[in-house]
Amino acid sequence: MYDSNDLRKGLRVEIDGQPFIIVENQFVKPGKGQAFNRVKVKNLLNGNVIERTYKSSEKVKPANVLDKDMQFLYLMDNSYHFMDNKTYEQIELTSEQVGDNSKWLKEEMIVTVMIYNDNPVSISLPNFSVLRITHCEPGVRGDTATNVTKPATLETGAQINVPLFVNQDDLIKVDTRTGEYVERVKE
């Protein structure tokens, strides 16, 4: 059990039988009365954010959450299949559990799978992914104004804006958190 003094950003706790991660923690010591923590927590299953208050004497239960590095194998019938490279154990997640991460997910990528009470719940991707451009219009010579971009389609089907000098079949690095172009990658 965690004391209210142990609460900090990033800590995973269980509230009402659901796993949460602390997004924000504020220690409040009023001039009169008992000190308390005002905590914003995000539900790890559905993404809802709620606010809770804990007195200094209260305890919070830790969430039974495990992060496991796994390799993405393939997508079949709206199910994403992953494998643990150490034990060769395979699991599958639904497209709802993978969510928007599917735009940056490619075969053989190592991702972190969050497991709650022995059930896979969601994935988190590495911060950057190297992907190939499958379609984009050629850049027009002379268009050299700063920050001019054009749309491009990636091998995963995602569409992002890239600078004019980037061409079809180029490898680019994409920030998976924001979905923005970072740089062109040499083959």
Task: Determine which helix (DSSP H) or strand (DSSP E) holds 98, and give its type and residue range.
Answer: helix 95-98
What was the pLDDT predicted at 83?
93
Q: How many CA atoms lie within 13 A of 101 on its CB side?
A: 22
Buried b (16+ CB within 10 A) or exposed e, 80-103: bebeeeeeeeebbbeeebbeebbb
Any idea what the CATH number is for the domain that residue 142 is in? 2.40.50.140
Q: Are residues 9 and 58 in the same domain?
A: yes
What was the pLDDT predicted at 141?
63
Distance of CA 15 to the CA centre of its chain: 22
Q: Are residues 6 and 58 in the same domain?
A: yes
What was the pLDDT predicted at 143?
57
Of 76, 96, 124, the position where a domain reaches its end is 124
What was the pLDDT predicted at 51?
92
Both structure tokens of 178? 């924001």
Taking the model in full, what pTM does it have? Answer: 0.73
Domains contained in the chain, number = 3
The range of the structural domain enclosing residue 172 comes to 128-185
Beta strands in 4-154 (DSSP E): 12-15, 18-28, 36-43, 49-55, 59-62, 65-76, 79-83, 90-94, 110-116, 119-124, 128-136, 149-154
Q: Are residues 154 and 134 in the same domain?
A: yes
Of 62, 84, 100, the position where a domain reaches its end is 62
Q: Are residues 75 and 54 in the same domain?
A: no
Of 15, 36, 62, the position where a domain reaches its end is 62
Any idea what the CATH number is for the domain that residue 58 is in? 2.30.30.30
Q: Are residues 88 and 120 in the same domain?
A: yes
Return per-residue pLDDT of the chain as tens, 187 residues: 888 778 888 888 888 888 888 889 998 888 888 888 899 998 888 778 999 988 888 888 998 888 899 999 998 888 899 999 899 999 988 888 888 888 888 888 999 998 888 888 888 889 998 999 999 888 766 656 667 888 899 988 889 998 888 888 889 999 988 889 989 888 7
Q: Are residues 44 and 77 in the same domain?
A: no
